[in-house]
Structure 1
Amino acid sequence: MSMKVVHDGDGLPRIILTEPAGSSAEIVSWKNERREELLFMSSKAVWKPPKPIRGGIPVCFPQFGNLGSLERHGFARNRFWELDSDPSPLAPSSSQSSVDLILKSTEEDLKTWPRSFELRLRITLAAGKLILIPRVRNTDNKPFSFTFALRNCFSVSDISEVRIEGLETLDYLDNLMSRERFTEQADAITFDGEIDRVYLGTPSKIAIIDHEKKRTFVLRKDGMPDAVVWNPWDKKAKSLSDLGDEDYKTMLCVDSAAIETPIVLKPYEEWRGHQELSTVSSSYCSGQLDPRKVLYGFQ
């Protein structure tokens, strides 16, 4: 296992994790042992700060959405993070295929969001797994609240051939209908148009099933009770300058999130979330997959 820091052609630093089975991870990339990319990256992604990068797993803090004077989905995804030499109270990582990052409030941040904080993120790579542990500590002298999301941008073969299982029967807020609340009626979520929903009180495991690639992503999460499902489809994709017109066909965002009920921290309190992404090979080409096997059969 190893961790190294390299600089790309634009001079931006990148942290690369590798593990013995052959998989690797960067902040915007996760590849399996066959070197297949598992995360989506826009063909028109902008790699020049302070523009956010459309792809990978952006960290949305201190808000998810477009509220008040803060930029959409908060400012954390637009900032340079530093290596964290003191991940307390987490024990120092014993894995060489792990990295601890930290983002502290700056004077610029305090102008738009006047709360002092420390945002930490541990990233760990294992065979077939990518684990992220986000933490937020209130370093202010008064309480504050925030919403949060890990925007998982998955690379899929064809959005029309993908289904999500684990969100059936749940209530959701539809962002395409002024956040009106509905109850999911389908046995599984499939895609034939734009979707932008916040599913509420979701289970700890969600399956994203890609029929054509015979691959299932399993999303496990804790401390983030909501899940956002987003695909812009063709019309919206053409309106986004940093997304290729056809990119929507090979992308799907399923986010671990805390949105409906903001997280409240007293001074010097810390919130912790946990997310694990894994892949499971499937032998079927189409049709139903027993969701109990996907959601509960892989511990």
Structure 2
Amino acid sequence: MMDEMSTIENKSIEITKGINGLDKVILREIHGSTVEVYLYGGHVTSWKNEHGEELLFLSSKAIFKPPKAIRGGIPICFPQSWTPASLMQFSNLGSLEAHGFARNRVWIIDNDPPPFPPTVTNRVYVDLLLKPTEEDLKIWPHSFEYRLRITLGPGGDLMLTSRIRNTNTDGKPFTFTFAYHTYFSVSDISEVRVEGLETLDYLDNLKNRERYTEQGDAITFESEVDKIYLSTPTKIAILDHEKKRTFVIRKDGLPDAVVWNPWDKKAKTIADLGDDDYKHMLCVEAAVIEKPITLKPGEEWKVRQELSAVPSSYCSGQLDPNKVCGESKKLMPALL
């Protein structure tokens, strides 16, 4: 594998060993932003701005040892994520572990990917590839190719582009749900608010996935939250009052959004999460859950998520793309 990796010559990309000798890729942007990606899980574990400040949360007790998934960063949930009980009728979903197996498989660097959308100048990226093993086919009997491009932009933005193709030769379609299970680093969860999801319907995982409508003008946190928001906008903002920082999530093809924080009691029951870690993390996950994706053989599904961190002074209290994202970041270019 390392011989294959050595073909990468871009000075902005480094292949090295991470915790417990696991292979990882480091992307460096010219102004100082960095991203670390473990091939185990195709997992982004670190995203730092030009000042070296960590923007993603990683558990103080994260376990970097297969087959345990890494707690924090951006786990890839495929072919299943937070599937409501009403969707368990899909037999190819119900037998899988809670968040699928992509996050605890070893991906490879894809040195010859099919064409992606044009890459903006000064962006640095790495292409990863996941195919099912024989063991995977026993628990989910479908052949696929999952291509993941992880891109660090000139302004420090982080983009994940996913392309999943059905490569079954038996003519069978397959169905899946999906999420970028992003853990954001926040100063104090009690001082954070999420904008862009107000007035929307959601499924409450703490109440047997019953359906409700969000009533507040923004989402704030005083206790455990585990909700799946439906038919969400293409932009969501996370305002961190203490750090005077706003995270902006821009997403294409991912209609749902999971908002999760375990709070104190639940945190103590999670073995690979520190008792006080919940105070400094918030998961807002771009996802496809309510309406699973079905691909016929040969069909490909393409989605992406772009993350930015901007000063909160850019935000006027409303999710105005020009004010939250800046004039240079109005909309992502078309995915297809």
TM-score by length of 1: 0.95
Q: Does 1:76 align with 2:102?
A: yes
Q: Does 1:31 align with 2:48?
A: yes
Deviation of 1:212 after TM superposition, in Å, equals 0.2
C-alpha contact (below 8 Å) 1:207/1:295 kept by paired residues: no
The residue number in structure 2 matching 1:269 is 299
Q: Deviations over 1:243-291 (max 9, x none)?
A: 000000000000010000000101010000011000111249xx97233
The residue number in structure 2 matching 1:112 is 139
Deviation of 1:149 after TM superposition, in Å, equals 0.3
- Change beyond 3 A, Cα 1:95–1:295: closer
Equivalence map 1:147-226=2 (5 Å): 147-226=177-256
Q: Does 1:8 align with 2:12?
A: no
C-alpha contact (below 8 Å) 1:62/1:147 kept by paired residues: yes
- Change beyond 3 A, Cα 1:86–1:95: farther
Q: Could you tell me how far apart the structure 1 residues matched to 2:252 and 2:117 are?
A: 19
Q: Please give the secondary structure, in 1, of the residue aligned with 2:268.
A: helix
C-alpha contact (below 8 Å) 2:176/2:292 kept by paired residues: yes
User: Runs of at least 4 residues of structure 1 off by over 6 A?
Assistant: none
The residue number in structure 1 matching 2:319 is 291
Deviation of 1:105 after TM superposition, in Å, equals 0.8
Q: Could you tell me how far apart the structure 2 residues matched to 1:228 and 1:9 are?
A: 29
Q: Could you tell me how far apart the structure 2 residues matched to 1:36 and 1:46 are?
A: 22
C-alpha contact (below 8 Å) 2:310/2:325 kept by paired residues: no
Q: Could you tell me how far apart the structure 2 residues matched to 1:215 and 1:194 are?
A: 23
1:229 corresponds to which of 241, 255, 259: 259
Letter in 1 for 2:267: A
2:71 corresponds to which of 16, 36, 54: 54
Q: Could you tell me how far apart the structure 1 residues matched to 2:249 and 2:302 are?
A: 17
Letter in 1 for 2:79: P
Q: Deviations over 1:219-255 (max 9, x none)?
A: 0001110000000000000000000000000000000
Q: Could you tell me how far apart the structure 2 residues matched to 1:230 and 1:119 are?
A: 26
Q: Could you tell me how far apart the structure 2 residues matched to 1:166 and 1:281 are?
A: 18
C-alpha contact (below 8 Å) 2:239/2:247 kept by paired residues: yes
C-alpha contact (below 8 Å) 1:151/1:255 kept by paired residues: yes
The residue number in structure 1 matching 2:151 is 124
Q: Could you tell me how far apart the structure 1 residues matched to 2:297 and 2:106 are?
A: 25
The residue number in structure 2 matching 1:65 is 82
Q: Could you tell me how far apart the structure 2 residues matched to 1:212 and 1:9 are?
A: 31
CA RMSD of aligned residues (A): 1.8
Q: Could you tell me how far apart the structure 2 residues matched to 1:122 and 1:288 are?
A: 33
